[in-house]
A and B are shown apart, each in its own frame.
Chain A
Amino acid sequence: MPIIETRDLRKVFRSVKRAPGPIGALRTLFSREYVERAAVEGVTMSLEAGELVGYIGPNGAGKSTTIKMLTGILVPTSGMIEVAGLVPYADRRRNARNIGVVFGQRSQLYWDLPLIESFELLRAIYSVAPDRYRQNLAEFTELLEMSDFLTTPVRQLSLGQRMRGDFAAAMLHDPRIVYLDEPTIGLDVLAKEAIRTFIARVNEQRGTTFILTTHDLADVERLCRRIVLIDKGTLIYDGEIERIKEQYGTHRTLVVEFSEHYPEIAVEGAELESRTGDLVRLRFDRKTISADQLIRRVTESYCVSDVSIEEPELESIIRRIYVEGYADPGVKAPAPALT
């Protein structure tokens, strides 16, 4: 049984249409014309417990609207939604006990109080058993290396420390599902890595289900096997990352360093992508030529000191999907719900 399920989920926002100019402003006071805007238009998806799914889309695609409906603070216009057996908007407070949320741009910690006091407050809010609380606190303090700043007021913490605190805060009550919204925004490389390691570990050891919304696709690539792509309120892809990579990322780049200087370089089956001195990047399609063949062709005609192959990044693939749209006769998007 899936832990999160939505079917034909829609959310339409209605706002008052404003006519331009002072007369128009006056007119909107009396006559009300509404404009409707669909933020989410028929999203069907299903997540199994323990999955770690990347929920990806450009700004305004409907990501946060979906998350708000999953947390129960937004009522869908139509469609079915169920989270851990509950309808979130109908049972908001009970649903709240099953979920945790981390917002990269918004802290849920008490600004003026030491970090530990926020944790104690959350213990009371979720009525976590004292033993369980101590155990979780000890574990998270170690995993997130928080012991140095547990008693520091939150306003004095660095962004990286605050984010670690927010992660612990979201998970002290053992939520079954955690929604992450841009959890690594603004963090340096080391802090990002610490957060990613923590997510992967909690997912693996506790079987916590994660939905990760982010613009940093490196997060997704590092953590998720499955991604759900959304654009203009509609699902455009739901499946494994590997599959779209295979499908869209058929090109590779062969980076060659020549040991001699050649004024002109041409290799059949590959095109010159860029050149800086004797370092040359050759782009090829692995469906027409294998890397092995290409390397042989290069070494037959030139003296080479070093070669390496680069795979395309998820980011460039996804950018292409947004521009061209996703089309694959073999895969249906959205994927049918598991039964």
Chain B
Amino acid sequence: MTTSGSTGASIRVRVGHYLEPYVEFARKAFAREATYRVEVFTNVGSLILRVYLLRSLWTALYSQNAAPLNIPLHAMITYATVALLMSLILEIDGTRAIRERIREGSIATDLMKPIVLPFYFFSDGFGQTVFHAMMIVPSLALALLLVHVDVPSFPVCVAFALSFTIGYLVNFLLNFLMNTVAFWTLETFAVQLMIRWASDLLGGQLIPLDFFPGFFGQLVEGLPFAAIYSTPLRIYIGELPPSAWLGAMSVQVMWLALFGAFATAIWRLAERRVVVQGG
């Protein structure tokens, strides 16, 4: 028992040793975000405004056409508000730094450090995310004064959190892939904007995917974007019953694995391009 205990401890030490830089990256990113105080307040302000506008919009739409697709108004407002709060986290793109560093040429000095760069970008983005996630709490409190948001049962919340975590990782990999393209073409902004819009619309951030008609609806359900917003949201508003959770999350995990493999391959190619052609 003692031996296994000590090996366990030494493995823990080694893992801790290995993770330390990345924890530190996240902490620094958190601290860096916190230095822009004005931005924080404007963000909270704009969020509350957006929540209010969404409520007004959906209330007006529902007064014309009561409960399309059997989604009642309160569920729709909940959907829209939660989607907005999710976007606060998902719109943070830590991998944007890849593009900037390639343009500045500082990617070369990054490669001279004993770190795994994709993990660096992930931790940096994660640190920013944690900071902004904390901002959600006061924003949410204020938003609740304006609109009513349904809070589901505890198991649903857990399933939502799990599904959202997978969605977060899929979103990270999507951003990572888009920014890594900058190793080949320095200008990727237009393409990124298009993909960002596509993912907001086709991923279910703006409207539930059920609103898409017939074949088109089936198509968007099959796209990877649905794994980012739509799946966790459908779990939250109770559109997906507990029996469908496993299947829905399996699809998410499939996209995660696929994007992960793709990102690894692209990064290898990018790294090789730098070390062979000098960037």
User: In the complex, what distance in Å separates the CA atom of A94 from the CA atom of B104?
Assistant: 25
Complex Cα spacing A103 to B110, Å = 13
Q: At the interface, yes or no: A14 with Cβ under 8 Å from chain B?
A: yes
A69 to chain B, nearest CB (A): 10
Q: Which listed residue (A71, A74, A112) contacts B35, Cβ 8 A?
A: A112
Interface of A is mostly: mixed
Mark the stretch among B17-25, B163-171, B242-250 that contacts chain A: B17-25
Say whether B24 contacts A121, CB under 8 Å: yes
Give B19's nearest chain A residue, CB to CB: A124
**Residue A210 lies at the interface, judged by CB distance under 8 Å to chain B:** no
Complex: how many Å from CA A97 to CA B115? 10
Whether A124 pairs with B114 at a CB distance below 8 angstroms is no
Is A250's CB within 8 Å of the partner chain B? Answer: no
Is the C-beta of B144 less than 8 angstroms from some C-beta in chain A?
Answer: no
Do A73 and B108 touch across chains, with their CB atoms under 8 A apart? yes
Q: Chain B residues near A14 (CB, 8 Å)?
A: 277
Beta-carbon contact of B32 and A73 below 8 Å: no
Q: Which residues of B contact A101 (CB under 8 A)?
A: 109, 112
Cβ of B274: which chain A residues have Cβ within 8 Å of it? 73
* Chain B contacts for A94, CB-based, 8 A: 114
- Identity of the chain A residue whose Cβ is nearest the Cβ of B115 in the assembled complex: A125
A120 close to chain B: CB less than 8 A: yes
Which A residues are CB-close (under 8 A) to B17? Answer: 127
> Nearest chain B CB to A99's CB is how many angstroms away?
7
Q: Which partner residue on chain A sits nearest B24 by CB separation? A: A124
Is A72 touching B20 in the complex (CB atoms < 8 A)? no
Q: Provide the residues of chain B in CB contact with A99, threshold 8 Å.
A: 112
A13 & B114 in contact (Cβ 8 Å cutoff):
no
B74 within 8 A of A: no
What string of 1s and 0s marks CB contacts (under 8 Å) between A111-122 and chain B? 011000100110
Cα–Cα distance between A74 and B20 once the two chains are bound (Å): 27
Q: Is the CB of B111 within 8 A of A65?
A: no
Q: Are the CB atoms of A106 and B31 closer together than 8 Å?
A: no
A319 contacts the other chain (CB 8 A): no
Contact B115 A93 (CB under 8 A): yes
Question: Majority SS of interface residues in chain B?
Answer: helix
Cβ of B32 and Cβ of A113 under 8 Å apart? Answer: yes
Q: When chains A and B are docked, how far (Å) is the Cα of A112 from the Cα of B30? A: 12
Whether A113 lies near B31 (C-beta < 8 A) is yes
Count CB-based A-B contacts (< 8 Å): 68
Rounded to whole angstroms, the CA-CA distance of A120 and B24 in the bound complex is: 8
Q: Quick check: B278 and A65 within 8 Å, CB to CB?
A: yes
- Is there contact, CB below 8 Å, between A13 and B278? yes
**Is there an interface contact between B114 and A93, defined as CB atoms closer than 8 Å?**
yes
Q: Which of B205-229 contact A (CB under 8 A)?
A: none
Residue A75 interfacial (CB < 8 Å): yes
> B109 — which chain A residues lie within 8 A by C-beta?
101, 103, 106, 108
CB of B114 within 8 A of CB of A96, answer: yes
The yes or no answer to A198 lying at the interface (CB within 8 A) is no
In the complex the two chains form, is A125's CB within 8 Å of B21's CB? yes
Q: Does B105 contact A (CB under 8 A)?
A: yes
A-contact 0/1 string along B86-120, CB 8 Å cutoff: 00000000000000000011101101111110000
| In the assembled complex, A248 has its CB within 8 A of some CB on chain B | no
A47 to chain B, nearest CB (A): 18
Known contacts A72-B112, A112-B35, A125-B21; is A13 also within 8 Å of B28 by CB?
Answer: no
Partner of A73, one of B21, B23, B25, B112: B112
Q: Which of A164-185 contact B (CB under 8 A)?
A: none
Chain B's closest residue to A71 (CB) is: B112
A residues near B31, Cβ cutoff 8 Å: 113, 117
> What is the CB-to-nearest-CB distance from A126 to chain B, in angstroms, rounded to a whole number?
7
Closest 6 pairs (CB-CB, A-B):
A124-B24, A96-B114, A93-B114, A73-B111, A125-B21, A124-B21
- 18 A–B contacts from the bound complex (CB under 8 Å): A72-B112, A73-B111, A73-B112, A75-B276, A93-B115, A97-B114, A99-B112, A101-B109, A101-B112, A106-B105, A106-B106, A108-B106, A112-B35, A113-B32, A120-B24, A121-B24, A125-B113, A127-B20
Which residues of A are at the interface with B, using a C-beta cutoff of 8 A?
13-14, 65, 68, 71-75, 89, 92-94, 96-97, 99, 101, 103, 106, 108, 110, 112-113, 117, 120-121, 124-127, 153
Known A-B contacts: A14-B277, A110-B28, A112-B35. Give 7 more (CB < 8 A).
Answer: A65-B278, A72-B112, A93-B114, A106-B105, A108-B106, A124-B20, A125-B21
